[in-house]
Amino acid sequence: MPLTDLEPLAWVRRLASEHDRQMTQLKLWNSWYEGEQPLSYMAPELLMELDDRMRQVIINWPQLVVDSVEERLDIEGFRMGGAETADRDLWDSIWQPNCLDQESQLGHVDALTMCRSFVILGTPDEGDSRPVVITVESPLQVFAERDPRTRKVIAALKRWEEKQPDHSRLKFATLYLPTMTIWYAQQGEGSEWTETDRDEHDLGVVPVVPLVNRARVSDRNGRSELAPITPLSDAACKIATDMMVGAEYHALPRRWATGISEDDFKDPSGRTVSALSKIIGRVWTSKNEKVQFGQFSEASLSNFHETLNTLARMVAAMSGLPPTYLGLATDNPPSADAIRAAEARLVKRAERKQRALGEAWEEVMRIALLIRDGSVPPEAQRLETLWRDPSTPTFAQTADATVKLFAAGLLPKEIAWERLGFSATQITRMQGMEDAALTRLTAADLHALTTAPPSPSPEPAPAGDGG
């Protein structure tokens, strides 16, 4: 049976099953970003032994890798095909009312971390002044399936839970199809979904757009930016935790004792303490002359430092981050050219993300126009997302280069404003100021022409003698 012929409830079961299959890995990616991953590469026996004394040391390189790219993904507007400036209508009536300046950043973080995030569009409720409601959704709640031929989304499902006054949890789901949106509720665990509402919009497209990171031809669901980083991060967390254990031995050197038994090591309540607690005891006394105490020599922690530095260099190589981002600083401060060279791979990576994510945001704007106006204008098919420059040149350098290009006639004024980082709103305001200044100048010139006294007529030249 073709997928397009599936009944709504069959779609719900199909999408929910596939989403559940991927949920474990999605939660793992999220835990790495949040710094809540379990400790790896350490023997369970040692974990049990250290449980009453040590906590895991988290070196959160995954969050650093994601945030370093996301910080360079700032949308500044949209430009219709054939237009020279950003479109004010899309920005003022759709983007800003939905707080997408902030929400888009949240979507980018989830996409970089968990392979993808989603944008869902719909009509506003009664009393909502927005022409279109746009929300950014987590991949932990939303899953979408694509047509294998067209690569377009053919169905999507969002699931969530709400806590009830009696502390029970009620499950809800929303199914998005090209012709309708259906809301469901589930009363108990394992019970069937019950339809609660339906909107037959007949848009012809599913109002759900995935923001996908690192899509492949064979895998359009994307790949996490953390995939090559997490093994190195886990190793660094293990080494750092080992270093803290070593610091205990380093601060309080290991001691030895002979002539005593295990029963001699008890806390004030008479309970036997762990081996580590015995080792770090500060005062040992005994009235038995056969008991002897001593200590081993202190251990150096330099091997831990070198291992962490090696892992940091590997992370820098895999992620494209400058070494200084990972704490690999040198005594000599780098020059401005060296800083830009070190950031070259990071900037190029951000530009690649802008291209892929820009296509998704353009599709969001087209669906928003379809919901608001009932049709998509032809120029919107060539919509362009305007991004802030992901590189980090100084403002003086950017201004100098832009002024030279403008003076040479190679750059229109509006493009020059965009290169200098002005937003669409600021550019519109500056254009209005220029128009107002030109209007005042023209009015002043006309006033001067109408009020100026007439110039005296030139006297006729004297007639010649004609001799």
> Per the domain annotation, does 163 fall within a domain?
yes
Give the CA angle between residues 71, 153, 128 to the nearest 5°. 70
- Residue 293 and residue 187 share a domain: no
pLDDT block averages, 10 residues each, the chain of length 467: 78 94 95 87 67 74 94 93 87 94 96 96 90 96 93 95 82 95 86 90 95 92 93 90 75 66 67 57 54 70 86 92 81 70 89 94 96 93 91 69 80 80 79 81 65 62 56
- Residue 153 and residue 43 share a domain: yes
- Residue 262 and residue 204 share a domain: no
d(CA 418, CA 431) in angstroms, rounded, equals 13
d(CA 311, CA 18) in angstroms, rounded, equals 35
Q: What are phi and psi of 363, to 5 degrees?
A: -65, -35
CB 123 within 8 A of CB 131: no
Using DSSP bridges, classify how beta strands 208-212 and 142-146 pair: parallel, antiparallel or unpaired: unpaired
- Structural domain for 193, as ranges: 3-212
pLDDT for the residue 455: 61
d(CA 371, CA 122) in angstroms, rounded, equals 7
Tokens (6 digits) for 451: 């009020």
> Per the domain annotation, does 303 fall within a domain?
yes
> Per the domain annotation, does 224 fall within a domain?
no
Q: Is 132 helix (H, G, I), strand (E, B) or coil?
A: coil
CB 307 within 8 A of CB 82: no
pLDDT for the residue 112: 96
> Per the domain annotation, does 460 fall within a domain?
no
> Per the domain annotation, does 371 fall within a domain?
no
- Residue 277 and residue 167 share a domain: no
pLDDT for the residue 426: 82
> Per the domain annotation, does 363 fall within a domain?
no
Tokens (6 digits) for 289: 């002359």
Tokens (6 digits) for 375: 């049709």
Q: What is the pTM of this model?
A: 0.77
pLDDT for the residue 7: 92
- Residue 423 and residue 291 share a domain: no
Residue 11: closest CA among 164, 152, 193? 193
If one counts the domains in the chain, the total is: 3
**Helices and strands, counts by H and E, the chain:** 13, 12
pLDDT for the residue 283: 45
> Per the domain annotation, does 387 fall within a domain?
no
Residue 92: closest CA among 380, 424, 368? 424
pLDDT for the residue 463: 60
